[in-house]
Amino acid sequence: MIRLKKAGKLFIFLGIPMIPLIVFWFVPMIVSLWLSLTDWDYISPTFNYVGMDNYTYAFTSDDFYQALKNTVVFGVFTVVPTIIIGLLLAMLLREGLKGITFFRSLMFSPWITPMVAMSIVWAWIYEPDIGLLNQVLGWLHLPQPEWLHSSSSALWSIIIVTVWKNAGWAMLFYSDALQKIPRDLYEVSNLEGSSWWQKMRTVVIPLVSPTTLFLGIMLAIESIQAYDQIQVMTQGGPSGSTRTLLYMYYQMAFEQFNMGQATAISTIIVIITGILALTMFYASKRWVHY
């Protein structure tokens, strides 16, 4: 009887929440893993089993490596600056300053604005001939890049928008983490004559490290999943310069209807995400202090 009760409880508390997880996550994952071994074209009722062909094709194609490189560049240059800017903003906007809530809200507002709407506005700002940014650069007699229209600057333009959107979000987490640092530690540093950088190195950075780990993992995953801003601003162009792995997946699946190759790429994305999260988690044991 007790065993039956226990099984009932297990079903209610574990089984029921598992149902949507199984239906909407595990099953599609297994189906997509199966599809990656086929040549399904998204429309035909029939398809052939092609084994590892889709993976072989991906690993031998230049487009894949360019997309992988774009994903890595996009990931590194959105995550690192977002973390640094978020921390610096949080330090700048500490409690006790006048109008702090207003400035914090201002910094946080890009995060609550939908990426699609924001990307449309930024596409106008980046417009080389009539856009605001080049107007301002022109007044300052600075070079006026082609921004989204040039393959050398398009990815950086999207990186800037993504950092701008996420920095306020990172700031909020860092504000909270900074408040939890005991004041005594700053005072000890003052008494011992620590410089600004020494204080950062010995007090701030180690004591906000759990927040840095959390933000690092979240932002890295988000950077791999970036889609909206690329879709609105460049659609992966010019010449594939802003095509990330996820965008490549989208193009293969819904523009080229090559579901087999698309799901092979999506599987690679999942593996990369998993490896990245695990690496960060294990590496964190050395530098994260709880």
Partner 1 sequence: MPKIKMTSIKKKYDNKGEEVIHDFNLDIEENEFIVFVGPSGCGKSTTLRMIAGLESITSGELWMDGKLVNDVQAKDRDIAMVFQNYALFPHYNVYDNIAFGLKMKKYKRSFIKERVEQAAEILGLTKYLKRKPKDLSGGQRQRVALGRAIVRDAHIFLMDEPLSNLDAKLRIQMRKEIINLHRRLGTTTIYVTHDQTEAMTMASRIVVLNDGYIEQIGTPEQVYNNPQSKFVAEFMGSPPMNFLEGSVKGNQLMLDSGEVLGELSQSIGDVEKVDIGIRSENIDIAAHDTGINMTVNHVELMGADLHIHGNADGKEIVIRVVPSEKVAVNEQVSLRVNIDMVHLFDANTGKALFDREKVNA
- For partner 1, the binding residues (CB under 8 A) are 182, 184-185, 187-194, 198, 202-203, 206-207, 209, 289
Give 41 or 187: the residue with its C-beta nearer to partner 1. Answer: 187
Q: How far is the CB of 195 from partner 1 (least distance, A)?
A: 8
Q: How far is the CB of 288 from partner 1 (least distance, A)?
A: 9
Give 52 or 188: the residue with its C-beta nearer to partner 1. Answer: 188
CA angle 39, 41, 43 (to 5 degrees): 140
Residues paired with 38 in a beta bridge: 49
Give 202 or 273: the residue with its C-beta nearer to partner 1. Answer: 202
Give 150 or 202: the residue with its C-beta nearer to partner 1. Answer: 202
Q: How far is the CB of 277 from partner 1 (least distance, A)?
A: 23
The 10 Å Cβ neighbour count of residue 26 is 11
Give 96 or 143: the residue with its C-beta nearer to partner 1. Answer: 96
Q: Cis link prior to 238 (omega < 30° from 0)?
A: yes
Give 97 or 278: the residue with its C-beta nearer to partner 1. Answer: 97
Give 129 or 184: the residue with its C-beta nearer to partner 1. Answer: 184
Give 167 or 178: the residue with its C-beta nearer to partner 1. Answer: 178
Q: How far is the CB of 183 from partner 1 (least distance, A)?
A: 9
Q: How far is the CB of 209 from partner 1 (least distance, A)?
A: 8
Q: How far is the CB of 285 from partner 1 (least distance, A)?
A: 13
Residue by residue, DSSP assigns the chain as -HHHHHHHHHIIIIIHHHHHHIIIIIHHHHHHHHHTTB---SS-S---B-TTHHHHHHHH-HHHHHHHHHHHHHHHHHHHHHHHHHHHHHHHT-TTSTTHHHHHHHHHHHHHS-HHHHHHHHHHHH-TTT-HHHHHHHHTT-----GGGSTTTHHHHHHHHHHHHHHHHHHHHHHHHHHTS-HHHHHHHHHTT--HHHHIIIIIHHHTHHHHHHHHHHHHHHHHT--HHHHHHTTT-STTTT--HHHHHHHHHHTS--HHHHHHHHHHHHHHHHHHHHHHHHHHHHH---
Q: How far is the CB of 219 from partner 1 (least distance, A)?
A: 23
Q: How far is the CB of 204 from partner 1 (least distance, A)?
A: 11
